[in-house]
Amino acid sequence: MDTTNFSDELKQLIIDKTTQPKPVSANTLKKYIQEYMYLSKSQNKTNNWITETSVENLIKIINKLDVKATGKLNDLNIIIMIKKNTMDNLKPLLDLRDTLNNKKLKQTAELLVKKQNELPPYEDIVNYIDGLYDTNQYTNFLINFLIFEFGLRNKDLNLKIITLENHKNAIEPLNYLVIRKTDCLLIIADYKTSNSYGVKRIVVRSRRVLNFAKKVGEGFLLTNRFGEPPKDDGLTYYINLYTTKDGIKLNESDYYKIKVKHLQQQPNSLEELTKISKYRGSSINCMNEHYNLLKK
């Protein structure tokens, strides 16, 4: 990474995050850098401006941002991570973070109420995926089935289909859908929360997935016009999920909400919810706060 034009405070942030006991992933670090650059540009600031700006004025900057609590928190966290290397009193910043976290939870709850009324029933998604299978839409079927069945994120689907024999000799650090004799194995190492949850291994026992994986054949599931896997920030272009009658195109987060709601109404719901949260690389608490449509 070329850091020649980075400010000293940004360089120090990169050092802190890559040398800490549990270093952040390359994608997380990239987001930190982008967030810092965007905030600096939006405030017309240069050099070590966060370090040199008082806590009081930084709070004013955050409060004036015309974004939701989540956006303000993203910027505030960058400021806190940089400011911790100074002798300034961080308590006002930490108090603001607590306030914004509470606002974020309230806004998330309001969104869930809205989603409860907008999202289609579970059966509509199942029928849609069945239709993709029946019409031999191989790639779309695999994408929709894997995301819906296992609560996966878009990034998880940036994978390579490979036979078991060839996977034994594979040395590339990729996500894989391994074709075995009677089932498939998802091996997902490159995903959003990999630093916290490690490599995900999911046995896919669906005969339909096995049949279609064989028909799609070895290679990347998602490819751009050059035949290469797309960049993570452009994955939504290649992933087409269910579209409602009102023209609302669902995303992986919507699929997860619908799946969670369905599992809550089934026998052994806690066991199944725990399982799907592990598949996603998340926690039950996160599921309850951000995806529970039945939350009171």
Residue-range domain boundaries for the chain: 8-115, 122-290
- Which tokens is 212 given? 């279609």
> Quick one: pLDDT band at residue 265, thresholds 50, 70, 90?
very high
Q: Is the pLDDT of residue 101 over 90?
A: yes
Separation in Å, CA 162 to CA 114, 149, 222, 256: 41, 21, 14, 26
159-167: long-range pairs with CB below 8 Å, 24+: 159/186, 159/188, 159/220, 159/221, 159/222, 160/218, 160/219, 160/220, 160/221, 160/229, 161/213, 161/216, 161/217, 161/218, 161/219, 161/220, 161/221, 162/218, 163/218, 166/218
Q: Please count the other Cβ atoms lying within 10 Å of the Cβ belonging to residue 145.
A: 20
Sheet holding 184-188, edge to edge: 200-204, 184-188, 175-179, 159-163, 219-220
Q: Is the pLDDT of residue 283 over 90?
A: yes
Give the mean pLDDT of 130-137. 96
Mean pLDDT of the chain: 93
More confident residue, 150 or 28: 150
Q: Letter for the amino acid at 216?
A: V
Q: Which pLDDT tens digit goes with each residue over 139-165?
A: 999 999 999 999 999 999 999 999 999
∠ Cα 78 35 115 (to 5°): 100
Domain covering 122-290, topology: hpI Integrase; Chain A (1.10.443)
Give the mean pLDDT of 113-136. 94
Distance between CA atoms of residues 252 and 7, nearest Å? 36
Residues with Cβ within 8 Å of residue 29, at least 6 apart in sequence = 14, 17, 18
Query: pLDDT value at position 296?
Result: 65
Query: 293: closest CA among 242, 248, 253, 257?
Result: 257
- Which tokens is 71 given? 């956006």
Beta strands in the chain (DSSP E): 159-163, 175-179, 184-188, 200-204, 219-220
Q: Which pLDDT tens digit goes with each residue over 201-245?
A: 999 999 999 999 999 999 999 999 888 999 888 899 999 999 998
- Evaluate whether 212 touches 198 at the Cβ level (below 8 Å): no
SS3 219: strand
- Which tokens is 161 given? 């289909």
Distance between CA atoms of residues 249 and 145, nearest Å? 16
Lowest mean pLDDT among 24-28, 91-95, 175-179: 24-28
Q: Is the pLDDT of residue 176 over 80?
A: yes
Q: Is the pLDDT of residue 264 over 80?
A: yes
